[in-house]
């Protein structure tokens, strides 16, 4: 059995809590895209773990796999593993040999290009996390990348670096007019990354991902595919170019791990929805709360209460009402079989709760998102108002179950579930794993 977890919005939907909850029934938790641009917070018995690369399941003694669709910064990986070990955990993390490695020149180029865009035209800036994600995927598609498997063979590593690095140097110096530094020192890179390869080999951390997962499944084990980021920053289905460079949507679970799409499709695909919207970085956001002082105050309140600051970069997130056309789009692209709605408690006690039910564009009502970002930016939301719900003791609600959720909040949830045409599997009412109202466990469907 497989369960795939997908962000329905712009990332930061609180996927970690659900991966952690349902990951209890998984034997293996595999990430299928992205790298250390992701940030997931797992809270267990009041202990908070902030991870960006290690799959959330590692906090619960699961085998964590970074699939071939991921881009891996080995230094981040080792430092997260070391920190978890210092806190008494012993994470078992395997890396696909087909996954690509984020090299120091990728990080440099990520920042150089963002700065060049800012100098040329502010509107071009993506607001990346600066982790080298885009340049690494560029090299993957350009067939000049360094893969995890290459780190295990110093000769291959040298050959690849001797081809790629002069190009990066030329780009930095001749195109951007900057000075290349240590990130373009082939000898240093060969030495450092051979050493990393040695540690990976010594700790037996690399796998042939598709084969590894097939064997675990044949042995009857449950696999959870953990998507990072969200549908609207998917490179194909998101608000291009304000996207990340991978496929967080469910199709990525197959291509990014080496299992067949039918395997993913026979399992459950759960969309994670935050009860309002947040966005880090640039790009349109039709339901953004920013039009007047009152909206800005409301956004500040939600931001503070919901802790809406980037896990990776600490940037304050932009805040908006729930965007239903976006959720219809997400449900279709990934074929959700269920959803989990998070952060319901954050909206409690407000004077008003609204959602963007549809958009108005060129005098027409749209129920889903237009395909170009420019047209999306022109969409005006048709807002629908809901009766607000009071602040309650959410821990007791989590204990007592769905019927204890305030009635107005249940109306809100029923509406979301109806519009997305999928059942609700869980409702998050606080950050701790225990603060989740579970209606169904996808592993038991
Ligand atoms: P990149 O993934 O660093 O290239 O950034 C591309 C875009 O995706 C930027 O707008 C980032 O803010 C956004 N992004 C990347 N990772 C995350 C995430 O985990 N949560 C939310 N936004 C993200």
pLDDT band at 225 (very low <50, low <70, confident <90, very high): very high
Closest-CA residue, ligand 1 atom 11, reads: 128
* Structure-token pair, residue 156: 């291959």
Residue 319: C-alpha distances to residues 73, 196, 277, 284, 359 (Å): 30, 40, 6, 12, 18
Mean pLDDT of the chain: 95
Q: Does 147 sit in the ligand 1 pocket, CB within 6 Å?
A: no
Pick the atom of ligand 1 nearest to 246's CA.
Answer: 2
Amino acid 344: pLDDT: 97
Report d(CA 385, CA 376) in Å as an integer. 22
Atom of ligand 1 nearest to the CA of 110: 4
pLDDT score of 256:
98
Active-site residue, 12 included: yes
The response to whether 442 counts as a known ligand-binding position is no
Using the mean position of ligand 1's atoms as its centre, give its distance from the Cα of residue 243 in Å: 7
Instruction: Give the three-class secondary structure for 30.
Output: strand
What's the distance, Cα to Cα, between the start and end of the chain in Å?
10
Q: What are the tens digits of pLDDT across the range 24-79? A: 899 999 999 999 998 877 776 678 888 899 987 777 889 999 999 999 999 999 99
281 in contact with ligand 1, CB cutoff 6 A: yes
Q: Is 229 among the annotated ligand-binding positions?
A: yes
Are 307 and 349 a contacting pair, CB within 8 Å? Answer: no
Q: Are 1 and 391 in contact (CB under 8 A)?
A: no
Q: What is the pLDDT of residues 317-370, one digit of tens each?
A: 999 999 999 999 999 999 999 999 999 999 999 999 999 999 999 999 999 999
Whether 274 is catalytic is: no
Delineate the domains of the chain, giving CATH numbers in brackets.
2-95+205-268 (3.40.440.10), 101-200 (1.10.300.10), 273-444 (3.90.170.10)
Distance from Cα 36 to the centre of ligand 1, integer Å:
10
| Confidence (pTM) | 0.96
How far, in Å, is the centroid of ligand 1 from the Cα of 244?
Answer: 5
Ligand 1: atom nearest CA of 130 is 3
Local structure of 236: helix, strand or coil: coil
What spacing in Å lies between the alpha carbon of 252 and ligand 1's midpoint? 16
Catalytic residue among 100, 106, 117, 140: 140
Ligand 1 touching residue 241 (CB < 6 A): no
Which tokens in the block code for residue 403? 């019927």
Residue 156 has pLDDT above 90, yes or no: yes
Would you call 140 a catalytic residue per the annotation? yes
Query: For residue 40, which atom of ligand 1 is closest to its CA?
Result: 19
Say if ligand 1 is within 6 A of residue 53 CB.
no
Does 145 show up as a binding residue in the annotation?
no
Mean pLDDT of the 79-108 span: 95
Q: Identify whether the C-beta of residue 35 lies closer than 8 Å to the C-beta of residue 73.
A: yes
Q: Is 307 annotated as a binding residue?
A: no
Q: How far is the CA of 128 from the centre of ligand 1 (A)?
A: 6
Position 197 scores a pLDDT of 98
Residue 112 · residue 172 · CB < 8 Å: yes
- Count of H-run helices and E-run strands, the chain: 14, 20
Q: What is the pLDDT of residues 389-437, one digit of tens each?
A: 999 999 999 999 999 999 999 999 999 999 999 999 999 999 877 899 9
User: DSSP character for 281?
Assistant: S
Q: How far is ligand 1, taken at its centre, from the CA of residue 202, in Å? A: 33
SS3 289: coil
126 ligand 1 Cβ < 6 A: yes
64 annotated to a ligand binding site: no
16 in a labelled binding site: yes
Q: Which of 20, 36, 40, 150 is catalytic?
A: 40
Mean pLDDT of all residues in 153-160? 98
- 312, pLDDT greater than 80: no
């Amino acid at each position: 059995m497989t369960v795939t977890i997908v962000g329905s919005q712009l990332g930061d939907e609180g996927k970690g809590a659900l991966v952690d909850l349902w990951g209890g029934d998984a034997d293996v938790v595999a990430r299928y895209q992205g790298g250390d641009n992701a940030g997931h917070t797992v809270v267990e018995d009041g202990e908070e773990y902030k991870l960006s690369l290690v799959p959330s399941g590692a906090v619960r003694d699961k085998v964590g796999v970074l699939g071939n669709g991921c881009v891996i910064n080995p230094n981040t990986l080792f430092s997260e593993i070391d920190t978890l070990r210092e806190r008494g955990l012993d994470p078992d993390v395997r890396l696909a040999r087909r996954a690509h490695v984020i090299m120091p020149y990728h990080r440099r180029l990520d920042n150089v290009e963002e700065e060049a865009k800012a100098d040329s035209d502010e509107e071009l800036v993506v607001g990346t996390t600066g982790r080298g994600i885009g340049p690494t995927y560029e090299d993957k598609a350009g067939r000049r990348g360094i893969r995890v498997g290459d780190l295990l063979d110093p000769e291959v590593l040298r050959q690849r670096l001797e081809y790629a690095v002069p190009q990066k140097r030329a780009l930095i110096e001749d195109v951007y007019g900057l000075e290349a530094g240590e990130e373009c020192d082939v000898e240093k890179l060969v030495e450092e990354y051979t050493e990393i390869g040695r540690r990976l080999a010594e700790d037996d951390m690399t796998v042939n991902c598709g084969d590894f997962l097939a064997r675990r499944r044949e042995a009857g084990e449950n696999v959870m595919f953990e998507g990072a980021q969200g549908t609207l920053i998917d490179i194909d289905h998101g608000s291009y170019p304000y996207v990340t460079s991978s496929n967080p949507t469910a199709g990525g679970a197959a291509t990014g791990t080496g299992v067949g799409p039918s395997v993913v499709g026979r399992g459950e695909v759960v969309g994670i929805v935050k009860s309002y919207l947040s966005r880090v970085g640039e790009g349109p956001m039709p339901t953004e709360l920013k039009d007047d002082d009152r909206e800005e105050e409301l956004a500040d309140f939600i931001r503070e209460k919901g802790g809406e600051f980037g896990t990776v970069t600490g940037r304050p997130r932009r805040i908006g009402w729930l965007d239903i056309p976006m959720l219809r789009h997400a449900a279709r692209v990934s074929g959700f079989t269920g959803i989990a709605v998070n952060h319901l408690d954050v909206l409690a006690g407000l004077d008003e709760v609204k959602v963007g039910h549809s958009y108005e564009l060129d005098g027409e009502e749209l129920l889903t998102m237009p395909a170009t970002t420019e047209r999306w930016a022109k969409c005006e939301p048709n807002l629908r108002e809901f009766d607000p719900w009071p602040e309650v003791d959410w821990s007791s609600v989590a204990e007592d179950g769905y019927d204890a959720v305030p009635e107005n909040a249940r109306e809100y949830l029923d509406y979301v579930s109806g519009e997305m045409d999928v059942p609700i599997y869980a409702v998050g009412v606080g950050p701790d794993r225990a603060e989740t109202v579970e209606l169904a466990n996808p592993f038991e469907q």
